[in-house]
Structure 1
Amino acid sequence: MAYMSQEGYDKLVAQLKEMETIERPAASAAIAEARDKGDLSENSEYDAAKEHQAMLEMKINQLKAVIGDAKIIDTSKLKADTVQILSKVEMRNVKNNMKMAYTIVSETEANLKEGKISVQTPIAQGLLGKKVGDVAEIKIPHGTVQLEITNISFE
Structure 2
Amino acid sequence: MQKTPMTGKGLKRLEDELRRLKSEERPAIIRAIAEARSHGDLSENAEYHAARERQSFTEGRILELEEIVSTAEVIDPTSLSGDQVKFGATVTVVDEDTDKEATYQIVGVYEADIKQNLLSISSPLAKALIGKHEGDSISVPAPGGDRTYEILSVKFI
| Same fold, judged at TM 0.5 (above) | yes
Match of 1:65 among 53, 64, 67: 67
CA contact (8 A) 2:76 2:88 kept: no
Mapped pair 1:144 → 2:146: yes
Task: Give the Å deviation of 1:105.
Answer: 0.7
Q: Take 1:76 and 1:119, find their aligned partners in 2: how far apart are those partners? A: 17
Q: CA RMSD in A?
A: 1.0
- Name whichever structure is richer in strand by fraction: 1
Task: Find the counterpart in structure 1 of residue 82 from structure 2.
Answer: 80
CA deviations over 1:103-140 (Å, ceiling 9, x no partner): 11111111111111111111111111110000011111
In structure 2, the residue matched to 1:47 is 49
2:90–2:154 contact (8 Å) kept in structure 1: yes
Deviation string 1:56-107 (CA, Å, 9 cap, x unpaired) is: 0000000000000000002233223211111110011111211111111111
Count of paired positions: 155
> Does residue 45 of structure 2 align to residue 20 of structure 1?
no
Deviation track 1:11-35 (CA, whole Å, cap 9, x = no partner) reads 1111110000000000111100100
| Structure 2 residue runs without a partner (length 5+) | none
Query: Aligned partners of 2:43 and 2:96: how far apart in 1?
Result: 63
User: Normalised by the size of structure 2, how large is the TM-score?
Assistant: 0.95
TM-score of the two chains, using structure 1 as the length reference: 0.96
- The alignment-based identity, stated in percent, is 35
The residue that corresponds to 1:122 in the other structure is 124
